[in-house]
Structure 1
Amino acid sequence: MPSHAIRVGLVDDHDLFREGIRDILNAHADVTVVGEAGDAAAAVRLVGDKKPDVLLLDVDIPGGYVTDTVGRAKALSPDTRVVILTMLDEAKQIRELVRAGISAYLLKSASRHELVATIRTAAASPERCVLSISRDSLALLVAGDPAPDSSATPLTSRECEVLELAAQAFSNAQIATRTGMSEATVKRHLRNVFAKLEAVSRIDAVNRAVAAGLIAAPGPAGH
């Protein structure tokens, strides 16, 4: 563990959540939050400016795909350890992030003690990767995924859900109602889909996803 307090950069797009995590971390003498960000671009700037020991990063933030954010952050500050803190528990995404060089993947259902312990481990043991995930995801990681189409950029299950509804001509507001997300979250998922598929419109994204086998072809309107 560093002889100084572990300097943490905190990235999440929910202000109230960030405030809670900041209070938890700053209550420990060996941990201090040195910067905060709410989107991918600000997260990268934070890393470039502050060079934190640990970057605590949510997967689902505006402005870019999370593996790209991790890569840009690591390029600016190779010694910064990236700890993912998220609600998402998907083996494919976890594997991508491990390959991108994260030091830990922690679910937001973790206790405050587990969070602090994970940050300490990441700072002290850069060669380790801590995975605090469900047994199902862990089993898939160990077993390996079926070989995907190497030409397809993977979408998360939520992104596929949103895109399938968009393919049925539902508006963002209607998708939000059906999925229980906020409209802003729906828009964010669509932005991520466009970026991953290099699509320029909803129709283009749907066509690319169908061609890649990521979603089923939409049926007649209203079905």
Structure 2
Amino acid sequence: MQKSIKVLIVDDHQMFLDGLSSILVGDEQVEVVGVLTDARAVIDTLKDAPVDVVVTDVSMPHMDGIQLNAELKKRNIQAKVLVLTTHNDPDIIQKLIKGGVDGYLLKNAEKNELLTAIKTVATGGKHFSQEVQKKYTESLFSSATTSSTVQTALSKREKEILHLIVEEFTAQEIAEKLFISQHTVNTHRKNLLSKLGVKNTAGLVKQTILKGLLK
């Protein structure tokens, strides 16, 4: 007899927990071994009763799905994490994918896709709904386009100065290195702040790293 997939469901809405549990009970390959309304209780629960898949929402009080996924991965807990949520925000999707989440579905998914996702991640695969994949791809394209546009907008001299700012050179040191006046350096710095939409040097460094402007 095939071993059933043990599932723990985490969501702060009891009605959703009840509904999802009743859906999964109908599949002989899936066994719901527990439901939790507080993600903080997951770690201790898994110590006593390990599961194959944790199905979790994103927005929850105290600890959200992003934090839960990160905590499970950090502790090398073997349970796979399948996010089931109403959120299709690209930033959330990116954070979870970068965090190594095993699957991501929206709550409007059909029963068959949900069961397929659980079985896929339980056996070491990945499952992301088509809508989630589309949102993620679009966000990557948008980010790359923005980065390319900013790079094109920066002059050669601005890129040189930006590189030195990131390397923590002072305005005076940059002026001496590039054989220009400190006033000229400050003018370029103001232009960089404006083009990157930030207020200070820390913002310049952050945006340079995020947008990969010095690659």
Give TM-score, length-normalised by structure 2: 0.61
The Cα of 1:67 is off from its aligned counterpart by: 2.2
Q: For the Cα contact (< 8 Å) 2:11–2:36, is it kept in 1?
A: yes
**Equivalent residue, structure 1, for 2:127:** 130
**Residue identity in the other structure for 1:130:** H
Conserved in 1, the CA contact under 8 Å of 2:65 and 2:83?
no
State whether structure 2 residue 8 is matched by structure 1 residue 9. Answer: yes
Partner of 1:83: 82
Tell me by how many angstroms 1:26 deviates: 1.2
The one-letter code sitting in structure 1 at the alignment partner of 2:56 is: L
**Secondary structure of the corresponding residue to residue 121 of structure 1:** helix
> Which residue is equivalent to 2:141?
143
Shift of 1:32: 0.4
Secondary structure of the structure 2 residue equivalent to 1:138: helix
Letter in 1 for 2:126: C
8 Å contact from structure 2 (residues 84, 105) kept in 1? yes
Answer whether contact 1:51 1:77 (CA < 8 A) is retained: no
SS in 2 for 1:13: coil
Deviation (angstroms), 1:51? 1.6
CA contact (8 A) 2:57 2:84 kept: yes
1:138 positional shift: 3.5
- Paired with 2:2 and 2:139, the residues of 1 have a C-alpha distance of 34
| Whole-Å separation in 1 of the counterparts to 2:47 and 2:94 | 25
The Cα shift of 1:139 comes to: 2.9
Is residue 21 of structure 2 the alignment partner of residue 22 of structure 1?
A: yes
CA distance in 2, matches of 1:30, 1:22: 14
1:52-104 C-alpha deviation (Å, 9 max, x unpaired): 10000000111124322112223445321100000000112111111212110
Counterparts in 2 of 1:119 and 1:63: CA distance versus 1, 3 Å: same
CA, structure 1 residues 129+143, in 2 after alignment: closer, same or farther (shift >3 Å)? farther
| Count of residues paired in the alignment | 146
Structure 2 alignment gaps of length 5 or more: 148-201, 204-215
Identity of aligned residues (%): 29
Gaps of 5+ in 1: 148-210, 213-223
CA RMSD in angstroms comes to 2.4
Residue identity matched to 1:87: T
Is the 2:94–2:136 Cα contact (8 Å) retained in structure 1? no
Whether the 8 Å contact between 1:47 and 1:77 is mirrored in structure 2 is: no
Pair 1:119 & 2:145 matched: no
Q: Deviations over 1:106-132 (max 9, x none)?
A: 0000011111111011112x1x32111
Q: Letter of the aligned partner of 2:46 in structure 1?
A: V
Q: Within 2, Cα distance between the matches of 1:13 and 1:97?
A: 19
Give the Å deviation of 1:34. 0.8
CA distance in 2, matches of 1:78, 1:144: 34
The answer to whether the 8 A contact 2:57-2:64 is kept is no
Larger helix share, 1 or 2:
2
Q: Give the match for residue 35 of structure 1.
A: 34
CA distance in 1, matches of 2:96, 2:122: 18
Q: State the TM-score, normalized to the length of structure 1.
A: 0.59
Q: C-alpha separation between the residues in 2 aligned to 1:81 and 1:94?
A: 17
Aligned residue number for residue 56 of structure 2: 57
Which of structures 1 and 2 has the bigger CA Rg? Answer: 2
Question: Does the CA-based 8 Å contact 1:56-1:85 persist in structure 2?
Answer: yes
The 3-state SS of whatever aligns with 1:24 is helix
